[in-house]
Amino acid sequence: MTQKDAVPLSFEFFPPKTDQGHANLAETRSQLAAFNPEYFSVTYGAGGSTRDTTRNVVNNLIAAGSRAAPHLSFGGDGEATIAALLADYAAAGVEHIVALRGDLPSGMGGASQLVHANQLVEFIRRECGDQFNILVAAYPEIHPEAESYSRDIYWLGEKFKAGADAAITQYFYNADAYFAFVDACAKAGIDQPIVPGIMPLTNYQNLLRFSESCGADIPRWLRWQLKERADNSDDLLEYGLEVVTKLCEQLIAGGAPGLHFYTMNQWRPTSRLCRNLLGASD
């Protein structure tokens, strides 16, 4: 991939909890802005727990001259709260919203009913018309609560029918899972872009823990290779960059319409991956 034929890139952040975290994020934004991303997305805490901090990070990104894409879910909130937030985003010049069901915050059990993403997309279109480009989540290895492979694709189709423009996937390390999923979506009549989500490999234990909860598969060969490097972070990072660069190259060669990086608010691993893909030296 050269600058000329580069696929669109986007980078995901989470709202930091400390002043140091905000300072680090400002540096991360500035470093990654060099890759001219389509947008920086900002996650939304379960149950609306980061409603204000997500909005603050979005405002900071816009003030710094970047395009920001807030993630949004109903959580426990009513329509009036979400409509007011959408109006704030429109006034701030936000162009993209990542619309999600989200998960219940731990401890809330069955006390509250989650609103599915297709219903949120419908709500945004009803409230705001074509104001926003709406992105939704997709799962090449299938959402952990899905009734079946084809039902999960059916519900993705419902998100598009409700008005979503594109999907971003959960991360994965097996390119075939993505290509098989895109083929199955096409057979189900979905022709909107499905952008692969890319998680840099930086920490063995965190990756295992997180992958367990979100249903992302770590192939057996990769798990063993990472385990061997679990106590040597430099070695693990270098190996991880090799594996993920190869994955991104396969995805681009196979026609992926873009790459969305889960940066974990760190610029170095994502920057090195992008430089590898662009053939730039470090």
Least separation, in Å, of the C-beta of 149 and ligand FAD?
A: 10
165 binds ligand FAD (CB under 6 A): no
Nearer to ligand FAD, 236 or 259 (CB): 259
| DSSP reduced 3-state for 265 | coil
User: In the annotation, is 12 catalytic?
Assistant: yes
102 binds ligand FAD (CB under 6 A): yes
Cβ 57 vs Cβ 13: under 8 Å: yes
DSSP secondary structure string, 193-255?
-EEEEE-----HHHHHHHHHHHT----HHHHHHHHHTTT-HHHHHHHHHHHHHHHHHHHHHTT
Nearer to ligand FAD, 163 or 236 (CB): 163
Q: Which of residues 22-81 bind ligand FAD (CB under 6 A)?
A: 43-44, 46, 71
- Choose among 275, 279, 269: nearest CA to 28: 269
Least separation, in Å, of the C-beta of 220 and ligand FAD?
A: 23
143 binds ligand FAD (CB under 6 A): yes
* Token pair in block for residue 247: 């994955």
Least separation, in Å, of the C-beta of 170 and ligand FAD?
A: 4
- For 93, what's the count of Cα atoms within 13 Å in the CB-facing half-sphere? 11
Nearer to ligand FAD, 116 or 227 (CB): 116
Burial (CB < 10 A; 0-12, 13-18, 19+), residue 69, is: buried
Least separation, in Å, of the C-beta of 122 and ligand FAD?
A: 10
Q: Which of residues 103-132 bind ligand FAD (CB under 6 A)?
A: 103, 116-118
H or E element in which residue 186 lies = helix 175-187
Least separation, in Å, of the C-beta of 152 and ligand FAD?
A: 4
The distance of Cα 107 from the centroid of its chain, to the nearest Å, equals 25
Which residues contact ligand FAD by CB under 6 A? 43-44, 46, 71, 98, 100-103, 116-118, 137, 143, 145-146, 151-152, 155, 168, 170, 197
| Residues with catalytic roles | 12
